[in-house]
Structure 1
Amino acid sequence: MIDLLSDTVTVPTEEMRLAMFNAEVGDAGYGEDPTVNQLEALAAKMLGKEDAAFVSSGCQGNLTALLSHCPRGHEVILGDRSDLYDFEAGSVSAIGGLVLHPILTELDGRLSLDNLRSAIRDKHDYQCAPPGVIVLENTHCQSGGRVLPASYIKEVHAFADEHDLPLHLDGARVFNAAIASRRTPAEVAADFDSVMFSLTKGLAAPFGSIVCGSRPFIERVKRYRKLLGGGLRQAGIMASAGIVALQTMVERLSEDHRRARLLAERIRAIPGVHLEPSVIETNMVFFRFERDGLSTAEFLSALSQRGARMGTLSEGVVRAVLHYLISDDDLEAIASAVQSVVQTKPL
């Protein structure tokens, strides 16, 4: 099976497995695991922030960050097609007591300044939940893995400062954004007060995410990490794989981007298949297909029977995600499987 369901279906590299076997460990609950401390210091340096916290997942990372930014009852202003809004089980509201305030997501993943401005409520109007934090996503998954332009981020940063609001980055795939835009991760994160990134998306680590920000902010994050059951002990076994991921898997993301463009070219040439979006910036390829009477679930099932696995985030749209286990030789087989499903006449 050629598995393109996500860039989280990877397995650890041999170097990661060896590092996990040999990891020096201590009690991370007391701040005494040297490997966890090394990972957090490395992550903070790469993202240009003062400090970092190792957390179990991106969902936990975003939740601890948002709780650290604003009190219960405040609004989280974010896109209506963001992963945080759609795919994090409502944790921000259910557990954090924060009010999600979704606004229209543009086709390229941006939140327009006009819509952001309209979302800001009068802090002195007791009838309204006060604004607490603004969240952007980069790369933007549901827009096709798009990269937010640096100039746009600076505009949102200035807007957030104008309203005295912190700006948080859901940067699960921030390293893809950095590679695609030919900037350093620190440059991509520079205008944000905090950033969360995943070690398991594209970087092939088997566990964990990182939250970066100022030292006082990260102290609050670590308190909420404990509150949410994320206090770890000999976590260096897992952190060691994260260190290898940051040291060895970032630069090679350009290969995933290159293969995504090649796969898109092959799929684009198939009659009845339409890329959506047509622009491929990182490691994702989204497309629609034309075949009467075939649902998305049926398409994916038929594709799997032909040796290729993909996924969907909404009915009618198929997503393929490239990662380090996909080779150039796989691309033709993937395209052939798609073509076979689309062009096979129904019984």
Structure 2
Amino acid sequence: MDDKTKFAIAKHVPLADQIKYVISEGWDSQYRKKHLKYGSVMEHLMNRLTEPYMPKKEYNGVPVPAATTGNTSALYYATQSAGVLLPAVTTSILSQLVALGAPQLPPNQRIVTQAELLQASEVAEGEPIPAAAPSVDVDLKNNRKFALILSFSDSLLAPVSFTDAVVPYVQGQLEAAANNATDAFIVNLMESGGTAAASIAAALSAFVGDLRTACWIGRPDTLASLQDAANPNIGPRGGVYKTLPAISSLAVPAGKLILQDATRIAVFDGPQMVDRSQEASIIMDTAPTIDMSATLHTFQQSMTALRIIKYADAKVIAAPQIITLAS
């Protein structure tokens, strides 16, 4: 499958459906037809079936008792219950900036920017007229790629466990991994390109963007500490502080508060792609292997490896204010 096809799949096939297709690669057609609308991700992409419907043949043999967990327990995997307790996670900073109006640009696309507004001048009769023009600047030069391989037990991804509880769990793991990476990148970009401020008042005074389209970005506990009688609508989930929206993110360092003009940071919120292998040899960076240099053989250890790739990038146009709050 070439890159153009992969990007088309990532763009038009929801991540949850991508996960279903890669999980079900080894299933027979009956399981596929039972759980999926299309027989493959390409069929989903093309929005048509490639195989004709084959009616089931009538069976005239002697009936046998239905298999149950009691009489054939070896045929059954444990099913996944709904709901999984996971570590705390916050919504992607990238998606929240887009919702607040951040310009979305693909890599290598430029926009016209200028450092300050132009102003006409009074000109005396016979004097030359001054000239000025905005500069062509911002472009996202890299197709930044964030990726991770996660291994899951085959029993979790078995057909009998393929329920509405399993796919959201797998999708949540993959999306959280991708979002954690892009959030760390965005915060590091803002900190490295921002201006330090000793207080909120100093940050508002020195802000070089447009305060009307600015937003706060901070940890849940940091945002909660800002609540007072004058600002009752700010809290761990975000809200509004000094009439400006607040983004809650665990990626921001403790005690730091970022003031960023949401409309003056160019972003590329690219596609997410997921792939699968049951015959991979992987050097794991975390459990289940104790020795980090040991190789995990997915087929031998009855595991499935899922790989997620997220493309994203950003470039700061107006430098943010990085505030260190007093403890």
Q: TM-score range by the shorter chain?
A: under 0.3
- Decide which structure has the larger Cα Rg and report it: 2
More strand by share: 2
TM-score calculated relative to the size of structure 1: 0.24
TM-score calculated relative to the size of structure 2: 0.25
